[in-house]
Amino acid sequence: MNHSTLPVLQQKHKARKRFGQNFLHDDGVINRIITTVYPRNSDHVVEIGPGQGALTEQLLNGAGELDVIELDRDLIPWLKLNFGLSRAFRVHEADALTFNFQSLQQDDRLLRIVGNLPYNISTPLIFHLLSYVDTIKDIHFMLQQEVARRLCANANDNNYGRLSIMAQYYCYPEYLFQVSPGAFKPSPKVDSAIVRLTPWETLPHPCQDVALLSIVVKDAFAMRRKTLRNSLKKHISSNELTALNIDPSVRPEHLPLESFVKIADHLVQHR
């Protein structure tokens, strides 16, 4: 469907600040995303925030099933009008931040998640989705470029932090390509990027208590310029860190995921 021929209902809809809406309209970017995702007839795809349907039609044409999750109730009638006749299409008026994604899995197929995310919910939504990795094959998100770089950053990178570590505990992240503000209406003030998260088949650094790992990482980066000796002193002593071959004088951004797992496992064993 050419975007110039979309029904009047869609054309009149204005982006809402409270939903953080920036609608994708650049056909070149849209086609590149679809090529990257490459939905197949055997796939069960879930689109978060379909908005004005920039990706929806091509996802539906390629995928065997498509569930879309949309919070803006004014867009629901348009989505049902244009795609609702397809038996492969289902629309859910819901908040993705609280949505039970496991409820969509109706067979042994893993879900493929796609979304052009509002910047104000991207980080909490990623954390929410991490709790469903057992039901997810891969995730393709349009994110604020800063968030994309944080997701993919490794130790010793200024972008490295809690999001990097917890996402990489569960998934392999890939920064795919940058998208300029002009691809959206209205245009955001920052660049965006497409990233792919692929859940590990086998966790590379399994932790005995992931909830505790999350607490340790959060506390370590709460004041990221502090050394581990200071930021983690309520959890572990400098001598204990040294015994784990971890330098207590370094800052958290210099510590790889496996070292945080080592700290958390030590705490489990010595509570």
Tell me the pLDDT tens digit for each residue of 150-207: 999 999 999 999 999 999 999 999 999 999 888 777 676 789 999 999 999 999 999 9
Contact 221, 161 (CB under 8 A): yes
| Secondary structure in 3-state letters for 117-154 | CCCCCHHHHHHHHHCCHHHEEEEEEEEEHHHHHHHHCC
Mean pLDDT for 206-231 is 96
Does pLDDT of 12 surpass 60?
Answer: no
CA 237 to chain centre: 34
Does pLDDT of 3 surpass 90?
Answer: no
Tell me the pLDDT tens digit for each residue of 23-57: 687 899 899 999 999 999 999 999 999 988 889 99
119 by Cβ neighbours in 10 Å (0-12 / 13-18 / 19+) ranks as: middle
Superfamily of domain 210-269: rRNA adenine dimethylase, C-terminal domain (1.10.8.100)
- pLDDT of amino acid 271: 74
- pLDDT of amino acid 2: 42
Query: Domain 3-199 maps to which CATH number in 3.40.50.11540, 3.10.20.30, 3.40.50.150, 3.30.230.10?
Result: 3.40.50.150
* Helix (H) or strand (E) segment spanning residue 241: helix 238-243
143: Cβ contacts below 8 Å, ≥ 6 apart: 117, 119, 122, 151, 192, 193, 194, 195
- pLDDT of amino acid 24: 82
Q: The whole model's pTM is what?
A: 0.89
